[in-house]
Amino acid sequence: MADLQSTKHLIEIIRELCFATTLDSVMTLVGVAARQLTHADGATFVLRQGEECFYAHENAGSALMHGTKENQTTPPR
């Protein structure tokens, strides 16, 4: 029964995403859905901007990395 509920919930999230018109609305929907579906304490939406990693959105009890940027480096081989 739990699988059926999760599937129905996922279908509803997909429907909502189909009508999302801004990046902010997509990030909000994905953050809420990720937490609900996985029972996580938080979710972070990270965007790559050139060589930087931008923590664009968080859905958590408190902001941890929101709004910060970090350089992305390729580890040495």
Classify burial at 66, counting beta carbons within 10 Å of its beta carbon; exposed 0-12, middle 13-18, buried 19 or more: middle
Whether residue 67 is predicted with pLDDT greater than 80 in this model: the reply is no
Q: What is the DSSP letter of 72?
A: -
Q: pLDDT averaged over the chain?
A: 82
Q: In what order do the strands lie in the sheet with 52-60?
A: 42-49, 52-60, 69-71
Query: What is the per-residue pLDDT across 37-50, written as a single tens digit (0 to 9) for each?
Result: 888 888 988 888 88
**pTM for this model (two decimals):** 0.70
Query: What is the per-residue pLDDT across 6-37, written as a single tens digit (0 to 9) for each?
Result: 889 889 999 999 999 999 999 999 999 988 88
- Answer for the pair 26, 34: CB distance below 8 angstroms, yes or no: no
Whether residue 76 is predicted with pLDDT greater than 70 in this model: the reply is no
